[in-house]
Amino acid sequence: MEPKVNLSVKVAGIKMRSPVMVASGTFGYGEEYEPLVNLNQLGAIVTKGITVQPRKGNPPPRIVETSSGLLNSIGLENVGLEIFIKEKLPFLQRFNTPIIVNICGEKEEEYVHISERLDKVEAVSGLEVNVSCPNVEKGGMEFGRETGTVRRLVSKVRKVTKLPLIIKLTPNVTDITAIAQAAEDGGGDAVSLINTPLGMAVDIERRKPSLANVTGGLSGPAIKPVALRMVWEVANMVKLPIIGMGGIMTAEDAIEFLLAGATAVAVGTVNFVNPSAALEISRGIEEYLVKNKIRDVNKLRDYGARWKK
């Protein structure tokens, strides 16, 4: 039976059956959730952030729960580029779902190296350029806080790959629309927002920070209004398609992002609570469209442009 409504979207040239993706860092390399989730039904899988060399990550404690949120400072632990290609990608390739690789580095050359290498790897549908990781000493968010830096990095990566480039933005900036514009100017094809805002928690019994790294990135329902505001602002200022994320727990949350101007959404922290969340949210969006007689999910993002302050 033909679906009653269209749920498929195209982001940066990547065609997805559903607008609901799983966010980087919250779904491992896919294999961890395969026993529980039909990976063929996801809009796309965004992998854990990959660096040229394997990274151990930060010392524990790495996570702490806060009011309606989760603070993390994982520190980009990952298997490294070559092991990722050899050992993790073949598993993901078995599924009929776009694979977007989140890439990160301490130096521009590392982003360039990874992009050049993955350009030749057929299983990869796109790159999410991580200029927003708040938990590493060097690189990550350092590359995402000034327009000049963003533009330069994106244009360098652009030169070495034809893969769709999705720039993942940090909310820890004065004006995220300027950063998004810089991503476009550099040759990016889409933007993901938001990565985690920096936060902190203190263990008052031990009289020490709750995280070994002192600060961490905040995710979960606590950040949703902030994320939504930023998506709406960027949607009104920049032409690039947006993947909206930040605290999406339910279909209603996702629809808010789509109405505000996002072409697709990604769910993150909710995966830890409910591994089937992405699929349930996708079904919830479908039901909403049917109920409201909207035939195409792509119609939703027109609404945000009409809202004026």
Partner 1 sequence: MWQGKVRILSNEEVAPDCFRMRLEAPEIAGEARAGQFLHVRVVVGYSPLLRRPFSVHRISEKFKVKDSRLQNVEILYEVAGKGTMILSGRQVGEELDILGPLGNGFDLPGDMETAILIAGGIGVAPLLALAQEIVQSSKLKVQSKKVHVIIGAKMKKLVLCEEEFKELGCQVRVASEDGSLGYSGTAVGLFKELLSTLNFELLTVYACGPEVMLKKIAEITSEKKIPAQLSLEGRMGCGVGACLGCAIKVKNSKGKGKDSPADGGQMEEADFSYKRICKDGPVFGADEVVWNRR
Q: Which residues bind partner 1 (CB under 8 A)?
A: 25-28, 32-33, 35-36, 48, 56-65, 67-70, 72, 74, 77, 220-221, 249, 269, 271-276
Nearer of residues 63 and 237 to partner 1, judged by Cβ: 63
Q: Closest separation between CB of residue 279 and partner 1, Å?
A: 12
In three-state form (DSSP H/G/I as H, E/B as E, the rest C), the secondary structure along the chain is: CCCCCECCEEECCEEECCCEEECCCCCCCCCCCCCCCCHHHCCCEECCCECCCCECCCCCCCEEEECCEEEECCCCCECCHHHHHHHHHHHHHCCCCCEEEEECCCCHHHHHHHHHHHHCCCCCCEEEEECCCCCCCCCHHHHHCCHHHHHHHHHHHHHHCCCCEEEECCCCCCCHHHHHHHHHHCCCCEEEECCCCEEECEECCCCEECCCCCEEEEECHHHHHHHHHHHHHHHHHCCCCEEEECCCCCHHHHHHHHHHCCCEEEECCHHHHCCCHHHHHHHHHHHHHHHCCCCEHHHCCHHHHHCCC
Q: Which of 42, 133, 154, 231 is catalytic?
A: 133
Nearer of residues 164 and 220 to partner 1, judged by Cβ: 220
Q: Closest separation between CB of residue 272 and partner 1, Å?
A: 4
Nearer of residues 9 and 245 to partner 1, judged by Cβ: 245
Q: Closest separation between CB of residue 77 and partner 1, Å?
A: 5
Nearer of residues 70 and 92 to partner 1, judged by Cβ: 70
Q: Closest separation between CB of residue 68 and partner 1, Å?
A: 6
104 catalytic per annotation: no
Annotated catalytic sites, by residue? Answer: 133
